[in-house]
Structure 1
Amino acid sequence: MNKMLITGATTIITLAGAAHAQSSVALYGLIDAGLTYTNNQITGTGGGHSNWEMTSGAVQYSRWGLRGAEVLGAGLNAIFTLESGFNLNNGQFSSSNRIFNRQAYVGLSSRDYGALTLGRQTDGMVDFVAPLSLTGTEFGGTHFAHPLDNDNLNDSFQINNSVKYLSPYFAGFKFGALYGFSNQAGGFTNNRAYSFGMSYVSGAWSVGAGYLQLNSAARTPAQLNTNGAVTDTTGSSLQGALTPTAVPLGVLASSQKTFGAGVNYTFGPAVAGFVYSHSKFAQFFQNSLSGTFQNFEGNIRYALTPAVELSGGYTYTRAGGNGGAGGIPHWNQVSAMADYRVSRRTDVYIQGVWQRVSPSGNSPLGVAWINGVTAPSSTTNQLEGAVGLRHRF
């Protein structure tokens, strides 16, 4: 009898262990904190003043998340990700009224056929073009974004109500597509989004391309379909340059069409890259404005030692269209960063960004504003410097 009980208990423990081995949940995150100096920021009393401030996410947004998978057999897994961005300075969510504001999705993944997921997710520009740009990586991040993050390479907003497919690699190729529903009866296209992209890796070369389109009937934040595909942002937005709201400009326009492509080449301890993106905004602010932004970025990274990484980039951005009053501004931005890895999970960094905008006419975009900085400059120039500590878990 005792032998039977022992045998039965052993069987139960073995089965429980086997069942546990078929599923997993992992806690992960990143904390980025530092001090940032800006030479000029507009104040409420007018004019511009220098500013020293403690910042959260100067390079990468601070976040924590849960990632899980369950093995279903035949190479098929059930997967999920729940990811929350937060401000380390005060402990608040980086996006109001959202616990998992960065990502929240569930789906199925197959080693042979790719992954199909549903929820709040990133678009094709973030997935395929951003990794080739310094702003989309740990080697530059938030402040290195193209002016006002007009192409979303810094992942300033995510897509709600989205269905997304990502393929596995086929001889170095990978592709994906996403559709974000408006969730509005009688307004199928009112604040919807769709996106796609591809990448190719071969030896020292990596290339990628992506496309993102937003459609909306809103012209002011009050008219926005707040259940639609894009409703908030965790960082700066083009809309923020013109009015004090966190709603991306693309959902206050009849359409935003953004496409981009990039290439990286690795040689020895260095990686050199070039990224081009183009964003077109149609009929925003009571149909009075329209415009385009073209971004040209050259970047390089160099591993000085296994622990020290240097990176730098130059971005030229040209705006077109009526820009508010016939103005066609253009931007020059120079960025540099040095990073020292203390351990596998912890590093310290120092970085700086200088931006100059050359306005034409009376464009409302005629002042400099480095992405992630609290307020724009009162002039056409702005300089930012940051030193910080980053820890991953």
Structure 2
Amino acid sequence: MKKALLAAALMSAGVVAHAQSSVTLYGRLDAGIEYMSGVPTNPNAVGSATNSGNRWKAESGDWGTSLWGLKGVEDIGAGNKVLFQLEGSFNTMTGQGPSNGGLFNRWATVGLSNDQYGTFTMGRMLFISNGVWDFDPFGQSSWSSASLVRGRNWPQSSNNFAYQSPKIAGFDFYGQYALSNATNWNGNNPNGQGREAGAQITYTNSLFQIRGLYDEIRNPGNGGLWGGNVANGGVNSSNTGNGVFSASREYSALVNVFLGQFKIQAAYQAVRSAGANGVVYGQPTTLDHEWGGVTWQATPAAALIAAVYHVNGNNGAGNATIYTVGGSYNLSKRTLLDLQAATVRNSRAANFGLNANNAGNGVATDNPLQGRQQTGVYAGIQHSF
């Protein structure tokens, strides 16, 4: 009897050792103070700004989104793992989460991973256009690669299926495909999500890294590649209403060059809509977006960064350029101080802001007046756990 009990105990121990699992709680808190000029004020009867002023603001997430999450993995043997990730954002200054994004608005995924064949996940996740993060000198801070495409580079995506390949001879592949969950395959529910998809190929070695990325976001209202028409400050209610910035195709070519203490980064993006009709003059249907910058890791703790971002829109939309400098200093492995100063210069027809604001000249958008510039400085602290 004792031998049988001992054998059963050993078998149970073997099962526990074979199917090991772990759950990790992680997060990041980012907070600071921000000064910004060229902030719109004095709205008129239709909500358009008629003047601008300066503003001091307690801000969260300028250097990086404040977030918290859970990651889990279970080793089921033979190189196979079951994994999940839950992640949500919040405002450090107020403690509030996203208004309509749900508790886990960034990640809510479950999937399988194999050492030889790669990783497959399902659920809500950051959309593949966020793949520019690795090639942005400011890591998609509030004033960087998302600003001049009005947030087109950093959305989340629901109903998504994703595959990440293992790295082979320096190459790896990542792809996403998100369903509309509507009777029209591309989307016909204004309150839902249009079909979304994308793929990227990356090559990495010790000297440089290059990435090619393609993605498309469909209009949830009609499944098309155009996000509505904007005229006289109003939005066509049957569409999403932000033109090429909300529904379009995006083609990206990105590069990192590693030179000792220096990292040089550059990118070009072509954003293209299709099927637009009745578009008013000044509303772009195509965008050409590029940037370049350099990071100097002066010491193991201190980094200095400089970058330039530029966008040009067709159909009389004009162009804009962001010039920005900044850096960070690590107080420890988990805590850093950050500083960024930036200015956006608009052509006569443009009104892009430092933040990734929606199109428009209303006070709610935070965009400067048309043809005007906007300047900001942000200083903060970020802690990760």
Q: Which secondary structure does the structure 2 equivalent of 1:25 belong to? A: strand
1:91 maps to what in 2? 95
Is it true that 1:330 corresponds to 2:319 in the alignment?
yes
Query: Does 1:367 pair with 2:351?
Result: yes
Deviation per CA, 1:54-94: give whole Å up to 9, x if none. 11100111110111111111111111111101111211112
Letter in 2 for 1:337: G
Q: Relative to structure 1, is the Cα distance of residues 23 and 369 closer, same or farther in structure 2, using a 3 angstrom cutoff?
A: same
Q: Which residue of 2 aligns with 1:310?
A: 304
Question: What does residue 234 of structure 1 align with?
Answer: none
For the pair 1:209 / 2:202, whether they are aligned, the reply is: no
Higher mean alpha-carbon deviation, 39-48 vs 78-87, is at: 39-48
1:265 aligns with 2:257: yes
Question: In 2, Cα distance between the equivalents of 1:56 and 1:294?
Answer: 30
Relative to structure 1, the CA distance from residue 295 to residue 328 in structure 2 (aligned partners, 3 Å threshold; closer, same or farther) is: same
Q: Output aligned runs, 1:276-355, within 5 Å.
A: 276-283=268-275, 288=280, 289-320=283-314, 322=315, 327-355=316-344
Higher helix proportion: 1
Q: 185, 188, 204: which is aligned to 1:188? A: 185
The match for 1:197 is: 200
What's the CA shift for 1:146? 4.5
- Decide whether the 8 Å contact of 1:125 with 1:197 is kept in 2: no
How far apart, in 2, do the equivalents of 1:16 and 1:75 lie?
16
Instruction: State how far apart, in whole Å, the 2-side matches of 1:250 and 1:57 are.
Output: 26
Shift of 1:357: 0.8
Shift of 1:10: 6.7
Q: Is 2:85 the partner of 1:81?
A: yes
Shift of 1:152: 3.4
**Residue in structure 2 matched with residue 18 of structure 1 by the alignment:** 17
CA distance in 2, matches of 1:63, 1:79: 20
Aligned-partner Cα distance in 2 for 1:107–1:314 = 38
In structure 2, relative to structure 1, the CA distance for the partners of 1:389 and 1:267 (3 Å cut) is same
Question: Is 9-18 or 176-185 further displaced after alignment?
Answer: 9-18
Letter in 1 for 2:326: M
1:230-249 matched pairs, under 5 angstroms: 249=242
Separation (CA, whole Å) in 2 of partners of 1:340 and 1:41: 29
What is the distance in 2 between the residues matched to 1:216 and 1:82? 27
The normalised TM-score by structure 2 is: 0.83
Q: Secondary structure at the match of 1:335?
A: strand
Q: How far 1:216 sits from its partner (Å)?
A: 2.2
* Aligned equivalent of 2:65: 61
Gaps spanning 5+ residues in structure 2: where?
44-49, 188-193, 358-364
Shift of 1:149: 3.4
Aligned residues: percent identity? 27
Q: Secondary structure at the match of 1:134?
A: coil
For residues 387 and 9 of structure 1, do their structure 2 counterparts lie closer, same or farther at Cα, with a shift above 3 Å needed?
Answer: farther
Q: What CA distance in whole angstroms lies between the structure 2 residues aligned with 1:375 and 1:166?
A: 37
1:176 and 2:169 are equivalent in the alignment: no
C-alpha deviations, 1:86-143, integer Å up to 9, x for none? Answer: 111211112425111011111111111111111112333323x3311124x2xx6221
Does the CA-based 8 Å contact 1:215-1:251 persist in structure 2? no
Q: Which amino acid in 2 is paired with 1:193?
A: E
SS of residue in 1 equivalent to 2:285:
strand
- Residue 6 of structure 1: how far off its partner (Å): 9.5
Whole-angstrom distance in 2 between the partners of 1:17 and 1:52: 56
Query: Secondary structure, in 3 states, of the residue corresponding to 1:61?
Result: coil
| C-alpha RMSD of the superposition | 3.0
CA contact (8 A) 1:151 1:278 kept: no
Q: Structure 1: which 5+ residue stretches go unaligned?
A: 219-223, 226-230, 232-237, 361-365
Q: Give the whole-Å Cα distance in 1 for the aligned partners of 2:123 and 2:330.
A: 35
Q: How many residues align?
A: 355
TM-score by length of 1: 0.81
